[in-house]
Each structure stands twice: as C-alpha cells, then as structure tokens.
Amino acid sequence: MDRSPVFDTYWQFAAERLFIYYRRLAGKPSPWTSDRILKEHRFTNTYRASDRVSQYLIREVQYHGHRSQAVDELFFRTILFKLFNKIETWEALEREVGPISWQGADFDLLDRALHKIIGCGGRIYSAAYIMPSPSYGAERKHTNHLRLLKSMMNDRLPARICRADSLRSVFNLLLSYPGIGKFLAFQFTIDLNYSSMLDFDEGEFVVAGPGALDGISKCFPSASLADAERVIMKITERQADEFAERGINFPGLFGRPLQPIDCQNLFCEISKYARAAHPDIKGIANRQRIKQVYRSARKPISVPFFPPKWGLQISHSPEIPDVRWGDVSKQQPSLF
C-alpha cells in the first residue's frame, strides 16, 4: 500500500500535539510549539481521554466523589451527557433541575430545561459530530433524544450492557437503537468503558468516522476505505516501530500507548492539518481550509484525571523529551 508524505506527518503531529499538552501541563509559557499550523489552528489532543470534554465526562460525570457508581446511574448520566456532548449544556441543566441522577430523573423537566436554554439563544449540541434525531415522534431533536434515553432505561439496557462479554457486544447493543449509527455507537461504547461499569480492552476493535476516512485517504491514496478499520488497527500495532523509525521519542499518555480510538482521532486531525501542510494532497473530502482557529486558553490546564483502572501515574510536571519540531509543513517527509 503506497504511503504519501502525510503519513510521516501523522506521526510527527501525534508527538508534537502530545508535547504541547505536556508543556501546558508543566506550566510552561506559551507558545508551546514552533509549528505554525498548530499555533494558528485548534486541534484535539493526541489522546481522546485527555480532551476537555472527555476529562469533564470522566471527572465530573462518572467519577466525582459524591456520584453514585450504580450501573443505572453511570449509564444514565454518561449517555445524557454524551447525547449533547457539551459541558455548558450539562451545567445549565444542573442549574435548572439540580444534580442529575437516574433516581431523580424527570424527563419532562429535562425537556423543558433544554427548551429554555434554546429559547435563551443557547446551543445545546456540540459541533464535534453530527447527532441525527432518532424517530420518536417529537418535533424537537432534543425531545427525541430524551425519549431515546428513556427507552434505553426502560429496556434495562444498563444491566444488559454489564452482562456483555466484549466491547463489540456493547457496541451492538447500542447500535440496535434508532438514531445511533456505527460511529456514534462506537463513541458511546468507549465513553461507557471509561466508567467503572465496564473494563474491556480498548484495542478490541475500532470504527472509522468520516474525518478519519479522509485522513486515511491522504496517508494511503490507493487504500480501499472498506479496509479503514484494518488500517487503523495495524497502525496502532505498529506505533512503536513507526515512532522509532522517525527518531521520535514518544512517551505516551503517562506511559499509556495509543489506542485504536486515539489513532482513529489522529487520522481525523491529520485530515485537517494536511489541508495546510500538504495542500496538494486532496483526500476524498477535498476540503481546503481549517475552520477552527486557535484561541489562547484563559487558565492553566488542570491536573488530569483518568479512569483509575488504567493505573496511570499522573505527574504535575511530566518529563518532556527534549525535541522541538520545526513547522512540519516545511519538512520533506520520506516515503518508505
């Protein structure tokens, strides 16, 4: 399978984006990179679990000290949060209805609260990915999503998920519901697996989203997109060799190697990065501009919190390899 220069950039991007995260965590002053594209545009972290929204989900929704770890509660809170995938929506709901729990759930009250947020000009859905409206008969998309969640709870889906024997089994259970396609079912599966209700290996399988498909087409111009998941799994398996061949000292997330979900996300991010770094390589989406502009954070990054079952040794000042990439877009990657 032929490789384009974007494939080299994929690994350089993965390392430099992680080093930016570590430099910020260590309290180093900005700019945290010399890469022009990374300074001018916003990209997600190398590791999905370290992004702002995932951190909020793990810390505040799933593992907060006073939160119940009962299966029904974890499922209800996780899926309600992820249906909108927006911290501001969750916090606005809690201001309106109080602490959110399955035990005290009032779907009509939640519906009215969401309607009020919209009426005040607020946006309740994240733009991270498209959320189709499930077919539950309501005019408003958010009402249909609440009905979807209520249907899941009435079907005792949390208990059924806990009896699942694999990550793919969880995925298939979620996939059986209206409005949940393969990509969304996979994202929800990974989110539930962060919580204490599940503990499967993230490396079991992966689902490629539209952005990742474009990134793969830029890295491997002759690849069949029907093999996208196989490509991601192979890349995940080969990561140590790929970094080593490029002389990159990649420390991982406090020692945790990239998982398939992270490599999938990186293909999505390299799809965007390559629009500026490799404008001659179009990909299947043929997009030319990076829409999201970087805006400097107003406060330092907080000490991260990850699922305790991962056993990560979190450092306030992680050791950062003494590597400074130039602007990757100005380098001449080799083909191999």
Query: Per-residue DSSP letters for 194-220?
Result: HSTT----GGG-----HHHHHHHHHH-
Q: How far apart are alpha carbons 263 and 244 in whole angstroms?
A: 17
Q: Is residue 241 part of a domain?
A: yes
Name residue, tokens 């770094």: 277
Domain around 232: 5-46+205-316
| Pair (81, 190) in one structural domain | yes
pLDDT digits (tens, 9 = 90+) for 192-235: 999 999 999 999 999 999 999 999 999 999 999 899 999 999 99
92 contacts 113 by C-beta, under 8 angstroms:
yes
Q: Is residue 151 part of a domain?
A: yes
pLDDT at 315: 73
Q: How far apart are alpha carbons 82 and 53 in whole angstroms?
A: 9
Q: How far apart are alpha carbons 273 and 290 in whole angstroms?
A: 7
| Pair (178, 85) in one structural domain | yes
pLDDT digits (tens, 9 = 90+) for 235-262: 999 999 999 999 999 999 999 999 999 9
With a cut of 80, say whether residue 318 has pLDDT above it.
no
With a cut of 80, say whether residue 182 has pLDDT above it.
yes
Q: Is residue 189 part of a domain?
A: yes
| Pair (92, 111) in one structural domain | yes
- Average confidence (pLDDT) over 156-168: 98
| Pair (225, 117) in one structural domain | no
Provide the whole-model pTM.
Answer: 0.91
Work out the number of other CB atoms within 10 angstroms of the CB of residue 71: 18
| Pair (89, 41) in one structural domain | no
Q: Is residue 33 part of a domain?
A: yes
The terminus-to-terminus CA distance of the chain in angstroms comes to: 10
| Pair (275, 211) in one structural domain | yes
| Domain count across the chain | 2
| Pair (83, 116) in one structural domain | yes
Backbone dihedral region of 254: left (phi > 0), alpha (psi from -120 to 50 degrees) or beta?
left
| Pair (100, 172) in one structural domain | yes
| Pair (12, 82) in one structural domain | no
